[in-house]
Structure 1
């Protein structure tokens, strides 16, 4: 049975009540304090202090400090006045005391629930504000890019019009020159005809000269083109990047010799294993395809197609984190970024974006879809999926 503390002290003025409860050698970290508008309680086993106040106090502005071997309450009176006693006359009634204690506990519980709800509401508002700010920043960045594109478009249009004017002017000059040459040729022809007519009258003095003139010999010109691995013309090509890509592909395609007598020659070839995994995938046997791709990766870890194809299997099997890892590895190997691997990079971005969305990481998913749209700007399905993700993000923000 706890021991009731009776050697407490108190003091007051018109607005404040000071109550000091001795701790009797008990450490401060073992003291339990509870207070409300009409009830005080200090528990530090085996001692307990309870007080039913004579008048209500403002619990919001009142304080309790533990130190120097005592608990000091500083209670703000709701109605300024002098109290005749600290405890109410009803404190002797155990039923009243029990009722006041229960009311104080329920009031404190209600206040705690309200504070928790308020904190959760504030957190939701902060998250909503953060998402709105992120979307505003993204919208501002998109607007900046659109303005930059529009500026470049206007500049290109002006340069094109200027070039057209120059070409038109050159064409007019060329036309005038051709007309002048034609006119001069016609005048020379008319003059020659006059000479021929005069020569016929005097005798054909040009026959011997005409017989000595030889005709121009026919011939042909051979044109050779620089051999190109890629179909694009060399003036539009990124030659160093393409050569680096070809070198990496050649190194990745090299078959690694493995001393394992249990494996056939085909089972040691990563390219054969890739085709085998593709056949399993088309048949819907995704787990078998994952095993085949994984074995091929152990043989050669530099082929991006192995990681990209295995990510498609993981996506079908709803192994989203593994899908994200394989897509990221494929994108690392699909470097340097050249037109020849743009389609593979686009597939990896779309699969990783889909996995992010399945994990409800819509902002990361939207970023991958927008990167894929840069590689395939005319993809209607890609654009529709990106718009749907934006609607999901905006809907979650508004809710």
Structure 2
């Protein structure tokens, strides 16, 4: 037994008609959509949606978008006018059956035409692909032949260069060998002359021999060294207690300035242990345009109290300014999770969360998800002109007219 979908939403202009049908779990591959001039049907078991239109629409210009459990119809009216109702009133069963049969017949005819068109296109593509492949093979063969010829010429040139280099090196070795032979001959002649000269006169060391006393051997011993026990990086003689305290304070401030995630809570000042104080500090930094510092302050506040939705909501605004879009989605989702149950007191916060998350989705080109968040925001405040205008822009983008 199919479940008839009745909680759809529709609106119109003089030329266009918009229908939004919520089907939980609907995807494009598994949903059967039928659309003719006077009949629209969506079959997604166990859900069934059908409507017999009050007037005719232009099927060729109409657009259907399916995704994330929502089906959006954009139908163009054949004659511009404002309809009193979406569907025909008091439609007989015979008329309904006739419209259904006409829709099925048109779909079958369209499917047949599409199949023939696809077959013709496939044959043309195969022929074109064959011609392209033949052309590519011919060009590849020419390229390979050219590369072979270039490699052959390159190998011949390298061989000639190698032979020339070998000849030059052989000539250099021959010259060096000749020079070495001549130098060796000169050294032998000089040595022979020196030997003859030294054999005829007494040695210089024998004439000027000096008796030098040998120094005594050093006595053995040991040296004792004592070190001051220290835990601080520097030795005690190089540092003093006030200087060490100042150094430790600067290290804590540096850790606080660089990253609040690794900051030891013992390094916090008294006011920094208050999440409300950190929230106000983050607001001031955000107003001054220092978004990174604002994120650090809110990170520390969330570490102290992770149940305050305003902290996640404010941090999502900082991430949106920094274009950390995935983190924006995470923070707004966490804020909406904490803003339960939905009551009038938290309506403004929930509105901001939906708008910021919808903006992040649109920046990531996830327009269907963004439109869902903007429509959720409009349910909270239907009179918000800005949100309504932005939702309309997103809807036009989804329909391909933006």
Q: TM-score range by the shorter chain?
A: 0.3 to 0.5
